[in-house]
Amino acid sequence: MSELSQPRTDLAPVRRSSGLFGIDLASPRHASKLGYLLLAPAALLILAILVYPMLLAIDISFHDVKFATLSFGASEYTLANYQKLFSSPDFWKAIGVTAQLLVVVTSISMAVGMGTALLVNQQFRGRSFARMLIALPWAIPEVVAVVTWVWILDASFGVFNWLLIKAGLVGGPVSWFSQPGTAFSAVTMVMVWKGYPFISIMILAGLQSIPEEYYQAAKVDGANVFQRFFWITIPCIAPVLGVTLILTILWVFRDFSIIYVLTGGGPVGATETLAIMTYEEAFNFFRMGYASAIGVVTLLICAIISAFLVKKTSHAIY
């Protein structure tokens, strides 16, 4: 008898894996459970290193807590820190310095970043090298770059003063860190130098996503270079500009190392921002509750500005 004529034996049923806790995560019915499971480690990490410290800081801000006795739960809740904060001239001065720095650094950085992005978006010889030079300040560690700038701006042997004197712009060495105006200018210059490469990279990515057909059609219609920039380039990269603007503002708000290494917040508070004031109150004067109140107010300001900008800049015009 041939093999084909033999009766077919029953095959053993295929056993499928029962999965985690008896749930078959490969089944489409449980696809959402698999997604939550994969996100769980990241969510737990965020809760541990971001949400819990933030809630702890909010709680501390309602207590009179010193750094040496971190027993904030023993005392009663109070608004004394916030009452002291809003009646303090130093706090409003730090708000003013932060706002000035925010406007000046963000405006100049966005302008320089846009200009350099438009430049390296063109076709020319050595474009790759130019892109590398633009990104270089962003790649250097922040503290290393700031210490280098301290040497460059030194009043005795700094090369920046030497260049200004040789160019005839100043009559003698400028003491950049001893006068309020020059200290603010030095901080602004270093923050722009450190921050514009990120803006340039973001805008360059947006420029390369614009279809070339838009510009060709505009040229056929007789649009000049400025009309193409304001009616094609800006509307097409509006979402990128919005995200970049938000990230730049948050960076200026939270930046600590550049200001602290350059001036330490001085002279006479001319460069003391909210971030510097928070550090000074927490770790120099050991007023942890008061410093937490400053941090909570800073967080609220950043959240309001971010929500406003996200609402205004999240949609492309075309």
Query: 281 near 273, Cβ under 8 Å?
Result: no
pLDDT tier for residue 35 given thresholds of 50, 70 and 90: confident
Q: In Å, how far are 7, 94, 303, 304, 314 from 300, measured between CA atoms?
A: 78, 16, 5, 6, 21
Q: Which pLDDT belongs to residue 23?
A: 65
Q: pLDDT tens-digit profile of 299-318? A: 999 889 888 888 777 665 55
The average pLDDT across 117-129 equals 89
- Find all residues with CB under 8 Å of 131, minimum gap 6, and list them: 120, 204
Q: pLDDT tens-digit profile of 233-258? A: 988 888 888 889 989 998 998 888 89
pLDDT tier for residue 50 given thresholds of 50, 70 and 90: confident
Distance CA 86, CA 83 (A): 6
Residue 79 has pLDDT above 70, yes or no: yes
Query: 310 near 75, Cβ under 8 Å?
Result: no
Using the 8-state DSSP alphabet, how is residue 268 labeled? Answer: T
Count of CB atoms situated within 10 Å of the CB of 78: 13
Distance CA 145, CA 155 (A): 18
Q: Which pLDDT belongs to residue 1?
A: 44
| Distance from chain centroid for Cα 261 | 19
Beta-strand runs (E) in 192-292 = none
Distance CA 121, CA 116 (A): 8
Distance CA 39, CA 233 (A): 37
pLDDT tier for residue 4 given thresholds of 50, 70 and 90: very low
Q: Which pLDDT belongs to residue 277?
A: 92
Q: pLDDT tens-digit profile of 184-224? A: 999 999 999 999 999 999 999 999 988 888 888 888 888 88
pLDDT tier for residue 284 given thresholds of 50, 70 and 90: confident
With a threshold of 0.75, does the pTM exceed it? yes
Q: pLDDT tens-digit profile of 10-31? A: 555 555 555 556 666 666 666 7
pLDDT higher for 171 or 187?
Answer: 187
The average pLDDT across 112-138 equals 89
Q: Which pLDDT belongs to residue 70?
A: 53
The average pLDDT across 113-141 equals 89
Residue 271 has pLDDT above 80, yes or no: yes
| 59-61-64 Cα angle (round to 5) | 105
Q: Which pLDDT belongs to residue 38?
A: 84
Q: Which pLDDT belongs to residue 253?
A: 86
Longest alpha-carbon distance in the chain: 114
**DSSP characters over 249-296:** HHHHHH--HHHHHHTTT-STTTT--HHHHHHIIIIIS-BHHHHHHHHH
Share of the chain above pLDDT 70, in %: 86
Distance CA 69, CA 91 (A): 25
The sign of the torsion formed by the CA atoms of 269, 275, 281, 286 equals negative
Mean pLDDT of the chain: 84
Side-chain-side CA neighbours of 213 within 13 Å: the count stands at: 1
Count of CB atoms situated within 10 Å of the CB of 266: 16
pLDDT tier for residue 106 given thresholds of 50, 70 and 90: very high
The average pLDDT across 115-130 equals 89
Residue 116 has pLDDT above 90, yes or no: yes
